[in-house]
Amino acid sequence: MNTFLKRQMKAFAGAVLLTLSLAGVSHAYDPFEGEWGSTESCAEGTQCWLDIARDGAEYEVVYLAADRLDASKVLCRVASRMSRGPIRYSPHETYDDGLSGLFQGSNAYLAPVADGSVIMGGGLTAGLACDQYHWPQIYFPLGDY
């Protein structure tokens, strides 16, 4: 193999490695960000999901209920600001990492589970907006996050 070809191959390999190393640091994985769906039914003819976005040190968590066939027809939306950290809700509900906050004055938390899902718990009580829709307790990631 001639010297010129060897140099070209080394330069190409170096460029590929540099690109891969820069791509790896461009976006840190966050286990909570994204859309989370549930296999539980919210109500007849509806679908529901959580949309979680990081906003600085906090997260905006939005519960949405929409038409089962057309997700753009949102029937109900409730937003909450949540903080990330250990959760000590009760002696039986403790987690090393999770999101916690209030949904219209009711305590709520989201905690990761070993299978990749998150559970919603806390003191969600009747009288919340979207109360006519069942708020599922287990959510799975939707799409590629």
Q: Residue 62: its pLDDT value, please?
A: 93
By CB atoms closer than 10 A (0-12, 13-18, 19+), residue 39 is exposed
pTM: 0.74
* Residues composing the chain: 145
Give the pLDDT confidence of 30-45 residue by residue, as tens digits.
889 999 998 887 888 8
CA distance 49 to 120: 12
Pairing relation of β-strands 74-84 and 93-95?
unpaired
Least confident of 8-17, 71-80, 98-107: 8-17
**DSSP secondary structure string, 11-79?**
HHHHHHHHHHHHHHTSS---SS-EEEE-SS-SSTTEEEEEEEEEETTEEEEEEEEEESS-TTSEEEEEE
